[in-house]
């Protein structure tokens, strides 16, 4: 963490995957599975869900900050989890389909790839260290982004940049993300969490009732109809590749750490 005073607010079970700390009216949620690049499995999804439930249900919490470790934000889905990372209230990862009333800031160091970027896109504001990277590598293993990037990406980024992320699969750096408008605050490497806490403190100077009302109004204006169509389009893309030979080969090659042999079928 940082040198700021914080207190622990999670169970030992959750601490295996996620740390949660309070700092005044701010809740700091930290993914702590660095050995797997913070890839989300069932246990991590449940822990994230618990933390974000706390954020929304405690009236004394006015802003949340979601971060990873100093070297990685999140690599997305743990492929060994078999898709078992959906929670009742939060959807994928306990984050992606959640209807929050409390602002959530992503504080990103290192890579935010695949579902990790989709977690970022589900947040309200983004702070990144200079060494952060953002990418959607799904096509490189023959699959598609399924957690919102196919419609939230074009909403948060210029259309051609979103297309590049989705179709090429190569990541881009924090500077480019900042210049494109995805990142609100660009910090020095290692400084994303402190910068996110500073941003959270600025929000906390305002009336929490007004902040929540504004967040609800913005979400109501831009999300429901567009999200419904986006999820439908995402389901169509998933159906198109679900039983393809390329999807099976891509995942197999990824797990076997070898280049895939595509057939176009």
- Told to judge if 118 belongs to the known catalytic residues of this protein, a careful annotator would answer yes
Encode the chain in three state secondary structure. Answer: CCCCCCEECCCHHHHCCEEEEEECCEEEEEECCHHHCCCECHHHHHHHHHHHHHHHHCCCCCEEEEECCCCCCECCECHHHCCCCEECCCEECCCCCCCCCCCEEEEECCEEECHHHHHHHHCCEEEEECCCEEECHHHHHCCCCCCCHHHHHHHHCCHHHHHHHHHHCCCEEHHHHHHHCCCCEEECCCCHHHHHHHHHHHHHCCCHHHHHHHHHHHHHHHCHHHHHHHHHHHHHHHHHHCCCHHHHHHHHHHHCCCCCCCCCC
Annotated active-site residue in 23, 92, 109, 118: 118
Q: Which residues are the active-site residues? A: 118, 138
């Amino acid at each position: 963490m940082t040198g700021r005073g914080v207190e622990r607010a999670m169970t030992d079970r959750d601490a295996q995957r996620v740390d949660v700390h309070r700092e005044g009216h701010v809740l700091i949620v930290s993914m702590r599975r660095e050995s797997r690049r913070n890839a989300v499995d069932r246990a991590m999804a449940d822990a994230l869900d618990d933390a974000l439930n706390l954020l929304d249900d405690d009236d004394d919490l006015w802003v949340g900050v979601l971060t990873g470790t100093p070297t990685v934000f999140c690599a997305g889905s743990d492929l060994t989890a078999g898709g078992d990372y959906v929670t009742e209230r939060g959807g994928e990862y306990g984050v992606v389909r959640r209807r929050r009333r409390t602002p959530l800031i992503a504080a990103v160091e290192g890579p935010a790839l695949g579902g990790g970027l989709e977690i970022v896109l589900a947040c309200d504001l983004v702070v990144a260290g200079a060494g952060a990277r953002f990418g959607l590598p799904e096509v490189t293993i023959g699959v598609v982004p399924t957690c919102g990037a196919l419609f939230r990406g074009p909403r948060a980024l210029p259309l051609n940049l979103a297309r590049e992320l989705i179709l090429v699969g190569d990541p881009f750096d924090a500077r480019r993300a900042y210049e494109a408008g995805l990142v609100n605050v660009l910090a020095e490497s290692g400084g994303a969490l402190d910068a996110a806490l500073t941003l959270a403190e600025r929000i906390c100077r305002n009336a929490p009732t007004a902040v929540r009302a504004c967040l609800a109004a913005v979400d109501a204006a831009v999300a429901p109809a567009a999200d419904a169509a986006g999820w439908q389009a995402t389901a169509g893309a998933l159906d198109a590749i679900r039983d393809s030979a390329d999807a099976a080969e891509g995942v197999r090659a990824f797990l076997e750490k070898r280049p895939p042999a595509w057939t176009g079928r």
